[in-house]
Chain A
Amino acid sequence: MRLEQSELQRLLAGRYVLGTMRGRARDRFEVYLRYKPSLRQAVAAWEQRLQPLADALPPEPPAERVWNALKDRLWSSQDVNKASQSDPRSGLSWWHWLAFATVACIGLGLGWQLKQPVAEPPPLHLAVLSAQDGASAYLFCTDHQTGKTVVEVIGTGTAPVAGVDELWLLPAGEEGPKSLGLLPASGRKEIEFPRTLAPMLTAAKGLAVSREPAGGSGGVAPTGPILYTGGMINLWFSEKNTIQSASASQFDSYKKFENGENIGNQAAAKPVSEWESERTRALLALFRP
């Protein structure tokens, strides 16, 4: 998908707003929205253009019970924060992306200035963890300025098995997976990651998420099914904060992991399918200056 072309961008934005963009394409588009301000503008422009269609509909006041239920949903709990956490995994609109993008760990394409470039900064690491059906579940990224690693819930995960999600780093070579801890059901989580481990991230085959019983796997190896996977993308920046180079992990070695080598219970593991690398290529294409 050559999203760089503005004509194509506008058409895709139109189809997104109209709603004829469906399924995986829609998921993918929402990921792109996060990184492409121009795409967000194109979407906003279509929303505005078509809004008169919605305005022209005769109003239909909803039943009183809707407001009552809504109040209960938002404010009945003692814990007000609960409301802000409700429905965390429902599909997220581009407004969500927009908001996150302003605070996200990556200032890519948003023109953030990196004021004090380190002599040899490690690359920024990025991975979109997705289920085999293409639904994105988590975004993993590091901020090469602060060195912080953040994992964010970005979509409706498929959840065939009860339990908690555990994040795994798949290091290069023959080394087994390393647990990066349990993931939240919503929102984002900062992962404590010593900077000395940055080279390991850079070289990693990718990341995987397994569904584990409460409390996690114990940290040695995944015991539950692998639900989401994503290749590691490394982005090196120039002093001017433009992308200097990029690399993506090798998916062959990645498949090896998926096929059950190196780790414990593999009954429910699924092979990485072609779309995953397509997605990565498309993502990379977006970052090229």
Chain B
Amino acid sequence: MLDRCALGDRGAFERLYQAASPHLMASVRRMVVQIDISEDVLQEAFVQIWNRAGEYRPDRAKPMTWMTSIARYRALDRLRRQGRDKHNEELEPEIEDETGTGPLRNLAQTQSGHALRECLEVVSLDQRNSITLAYYHGLSHDQISSYLGQPLGTVKSWIKRGLERLKRCLEP
């Protein structure tokens, strides 16, 4: 569909939008929180998807990965422009407790998700939560530190070590 969009096929773009927007919205809204701003960011993302569809390379990324990245980076840009800080109070965090609720639970349903789920089990709960707070909510090191009530250096090293372990674990 992306290659059709690259040719200016508006019908293909609409189908792409219908298929992908609920997923991109889910990512964006967790980061941006406010619904109107999320909608605006989603629009920006799709403007970019439309304009850059010709640059999509199937051998480099899956379509959803390409589009999700665009949407997440646009959301991060927006957070930066807003200089947001009130976010923490409104946060409904996607972090895990012992009951293991939340989206991480759904991870196991796909093959790649299953692998990531298993690897997330390998990293400590703190590392896992720091990573998901950043990925899902766009929190900075500082914000994660104040959210979890842990020193900045501790959070940084959780993320560093968490990423290292995840990478090792996911390696084929």
Contact = CB atoms under 8 A, between A and B. Distances in A.
A137 B22 CA distance: 33
Contact of A86 (B29, B47, B104, B159): B47
Nearest to B38: A62
For chain B, what secondary structure do more than half of its interface residues adopt (helix, strand, loop), or is it mixed?
A: helix
Contacts of B47: 70, 73-74, 83, 86-87
A197 interface: no
Interface in B99-122: 103-107, 109-110, 112-113, 115-117
B112 A51 contact: yes
Given A18-B163, A19-B72, A62-B39, A57 B30 contact: yes
Contact of B110 (A18, A52, A99): A52
Contact of A59 (B26, B31, B74, B116): B26
Given A53-B135, A95-B66, A59 B23 contact: yes
B48 to A, nearest CB: 7
Contacts of B9: none
A14 B30 contact: no
A93 B44 contact: no
A18 B134 contact: yes
Given A54-B23, A61-B25, A90-B44, 5 more contacts: A50-B135, A51-B64, A53-B136, A55-B23, A60-B25
10 contacts: A20-B134, A22-B140, A53-B135, A56-B104, A60-B22, A62-B21, A62-B22, A87-B44, A95-B66, A99-B55
Interface of B: 8, 10, 14, 17, 21-23, 25-27, 29-31, 39, 42-44, 46-48, 50-52, 55-56, 60-62, 64-66, 68-70, 72-74, 76-77, 80, 103-107, 109-110, 112-113, 115-117, 131-132, 134-136, 138-141, 144, 159-160, 163-164, 166-167, 170
